[in-house]
Amino acid sequence: MPTALITGISGQDGSYLAETLLKVGYRVVGMVRRSTSASYPRIEHIRNAIELAYGDLLNQDSLEGLLRKYRPVEVYNFAASVPPTSESFREPIATGEINGLAVLRLLEAIRVVDPTIRFCQASSSALFGKACESPQRETTPFSPSNPYGVAKLFGHWITVNYRETYGMFACSGILFNHESPRRGEEFVTRKIARAVAKIKAGLQDSLQLGDMEARRDWGYAADYVQAMWLMLQAPAADDYVLATGETHSVRELCQIAFGHVGLRYESYVVQEAQSRRVSEAVQVVGDPAKARRVLGWHPTLTFRDLVCEMVDSEIKALDRHER
């Protein structure tokens, strides 16, 4: 039974990856921060099937100790701080530590303890920032526009550097927006899904949103972690854009979400004044052709089905709460 170590296992992506690995026969070890009040609702249903281990991404000895104790054959780094753009400017050092230097610490720990360990880094479409072309692919020049994107770019490039310098099997999945019922409440997809459920139940009167015409390439998180597992099964390490290749607007998202419960979004959505953003120079959308060609990967859930699944999950959560 091969062992895999997942950092950020209690998050959306880490929880889906844990499920994926358990299904194919892995021993799954999840790294978590030491805390007396921590709870892990996203992995509660598989808590008895996985092992949790305390570790600190800011401490090199801690990471080396974990690798020596559990001897994983694969390490997936999903630990990250994903602050709003303004917050990443207010906390640039903390953003850089978690999203950039922590990646280096993990890679160095692997190099020291066992350089045959295969490593997968969760990169981000924020690497492209003010992209010069659309769609964005693996060859598109990077141009991050905030400290989060810059930190993620460091994590990405140091992964490439260790692969090329030490011959390590280290790769990055450049993930575009990926959603699910486990998405954080601060993200617009989850915010809309939750509001629809509450409005339908008579618990909320309206929903305030920003730019309704903003478009994003939204995919299903469970599909994207499947791709990252496939990356570590490939004959050679490489980097891949993981995306749907389609964009949808916030308005479309609202139409589907409200329509799913028989409501018209126009009756409930209030657009914030002065919320329209300056149009992006190029469309933010990924080209997953390489992942399809090399890994045989493709998304399984349509945008409409993803939105409906998120709304249904919020409705069920309200029902459970009421009972």
Residues 196 and 211: their CA atoms lie apart, in Å, by 18
Q: Is 262 found in the same domain as 145?
A: no
Single out the residue of 128, 130, 108, 134 nearest to residue 119, CA to CA. 108
Please report, for the domain that includes residue 201, its CATH number.
3.90.25.10
Residues 228 and 237: their CA atoms lie apart, in Å, by 11
Please report, for the domain that includes residue 53, its CATH number.
3.40.50.720
Q: Is 13 found in the same domain as 161?
A: yes
Q: Is 112 found in the same domain as 24?
A: yes
The DSSP call for residue 101 is I
> Which pLDDT score is estimated for 293?
98
Instruction: Work out how many domains the chain is built from and give that number.
Output: 2
> Which pLDDT score is estimated for 321?
75
Single out the residue of 303, 223, 320 nearest to residue 257, CA to CA. 303
Give alpha helix (H) positions in the chain: 12-23, 60-70, 85-90, 92-96, 102-113, 147-166, 188-200, 221-233, 250-259, 289-290, 303-322
Question: Is the residue at 209 inside a domain?
Answer: yes
> Which pLDDT score is estimated for 288?
98
Question: Is the residue at 293 inside a domain?
Answer: no
> Which pLDDT score is estimated for 281?
62
> Which pLDDT score is estimated for 279?
55
Provide the whole-model pTM. 0.94
pLDDT in tens, 276-290: 555 556 789 999 999
Q: Residue 110: how many CB atoms within 10 A of its CB?
A: 25
Q: Is 155 found in the same domain as 45?
A: yes
Question: Is the residue at 289 inside a domain?
Answer: no
Question: Is the residue at 297 inside a domain?
Answer: no
Q: Is 45 found in the same domain as 160?
A: yes
> Which pLDDT score is estimated for 278?
54
Q: Is 204 found in the same domain as 107?
A: no
Residues 173 and 120: their CA atoms lie apart, in Å, by 7
Single out the residue of 318, 163, 315, 151 nearest to residue 236, CA to CA. 163
The stretches in the chain having pLDDT less than 70 are: 36-37, 83-86, 273-281, 322-323
> Which pLDDT score is estimated for 34?
81
Residues 299 and 31: their CA atoms lie apart, in Å, by 28
Question: Is the residue at 28 inside a domain?
Answer: yes
168 lies in which domain range? 3-178+219-242
